[in-house]
Structure formats: C-alpha cells, structure tokens
Structure 1
Amino acid sequence: MAGSMRFNGTLKLKIGEAVDLQPTRWSMRHVSIFKKGSSLLNPYITLNVDQCRVGQTSTKHRTNKPTYNEEFSIPVCEGSKVELAIFHDTPIGYDDFVANCSLSFHELVKNCGPSDCFEGWLDLEPEGKVYVAITLIGSITEGT
C-alpha cells in the first residue's frame, strides 16, 4: 500500500458564513419539554486537523445562517486532513452535532491550483454549506 500525502506548513482558514443549517432530531429533543417551538440554532464551528481541535469560532445565537468572518492561522506538521464541524450550543448537557465536512490536504492542494488558495462553498453532511477561504503555505510530502 502506498503512503499517504502529508502537509507541513501553515493552514490559513477564513470561515465566512454558513447557510441551510438544520437541527438534527437529537438536538430538538428538549423542545417539547420546554415548549420552545423554534428550530433556530446557536451554532459554532470547530476546526480540527487529524482529529485534534485547533480552533473554534464564536457562537452565533438563534440563527440557521450564521456569519462568522473569523480567521485562523494554524501550524501543521504531517497533517493529512482538515475537518470543520458545526455544533449547536445547548444550555443542557453536551453540545449537539449539527453537520461537518472533511477535506484531505491532498484534495486541498489539488483544488487550490497555482495560487495555493481555495475560496468557495463546502457542502456539509447531512445538510448545509459553509463558505471558506483556505490558503496553504508549505509543502505536501509522501508519507509512510
């Protein structure tokens, strides 16, 4: 089996806005108890590199179309993938997962082109989109 691609350098990420965020059935479990018939979220986005949290946006209140315009600059050593995960900040218990997306550094480099920058909408699973600008400063190497 061939080795995987690894990124070494700096990941610069600007998170613009997210749209079409929908609460999961799990995140709505308290609605009937408290009669809060709203499906609006209090979303925030976590930024992970290889399952290690390296950043988090502020929480936006009562919206399914949050605007963040927050920038992160993260040193990366031997990174293989980036994940953005959206959570709903809950008053009770643990925060609830809403949606996420993952990109390998190999895909990012391929989509960045000669400018080393990707800017556009990323599809989230199970639904929604997030607008990001990603710049990679560094190199991709063949890992083992």
Structure 2
Amino acid sequence: MQPGYKDERVWAVAVSLLLPLLTALYGDPLYLGTRYYLLVAGVAIGLSMLIKAPRMFTLGAALAVAATLAGYGLWALSLTRPEGLLGLGHLLSLPGAAVGLVGGALFARRRRSAAVAAFAAGLLFVLLGFGANQMVVCNTLMWCGPLSAPIHG
C-alpha cells in the first residue's frame, strides 16, 4: 500500500516538529526561537501544497528543510565560541530553498514522477537551491567561515 497525500503530510509535519521539540528540550544553538523552526517548515509544507506538488514531494522538502536547520545547529554546537548571528546565514539562504522547492515540484510534476522520484526531487532540489544561495550569501553578504571563498589581496 502506497501512502497517500494525507499520510505524507502527517509525516512531513512530524519531521518538521522534531527540531523544535529538540530545541525545546536541549536549547537552541542558533538562538532563533521555536517560532522560526515552525515557520520555516510550515512555509515549505504550505508552499508545496499550494503548487500541488506530486505525492511524497512534500515529505522530501520537509526533510531537506530539517536537514538545513540541523546542519546549522550542529555547526553552531561545534564552535568553541558561540556565534549569535549564524542563523542569519540560514535565513538569507531560504529564498534559494524556495526557488528549489518550486522548481523541483514543477520538474517532478512535469515528469509525472513516481513517489520515490518525487521524494528525491523534493529533497535534492530544495538542498541544491539552499546550497546555491548559501554560496552567494557567503561570498557577497557575510562571512561564513569555511563556506566563504578565501580573500586574496
């Protein structure tokens, strides 16, 4: 039995609630607040529903958003001195994730992808959009440590 849209959305919400729950229990290493985690995940799920993404795409997109937040959280925890504005890099890279989400949904819908392919498209396109925007942000607007290009003078 393949999961339907309702099951997929339940799993997407469950994946999205995992990080806010962990930050409530152990603290927020990015100093963003629980509302930020909920809002970012909610926008990703809502946007994929709004553009009528194929089945399982929303789960892949929600997992990608959770992965970006978890990656930033682990990065913040690995620093010897906490960076208060590290979350700003995540915030400024979200437009790329949104473009990746829309592009991936259109790609998967146009190809009439199977559920596994739509899941992979949601995951990969959101991560690629986020990563591309991250490289632009880290090399133009702010210093992101190892993600920024070295300065030669």
TM-score, normalization by structure 1 = 0.29
Structure with the higher strand share, 1 or 2:
1
Structure with the higher helix share, 1 or 2:
2
Which structure ranks higher in relative contact order (CA pairs < 8 Å, sequence separation ≥ 6)?
1
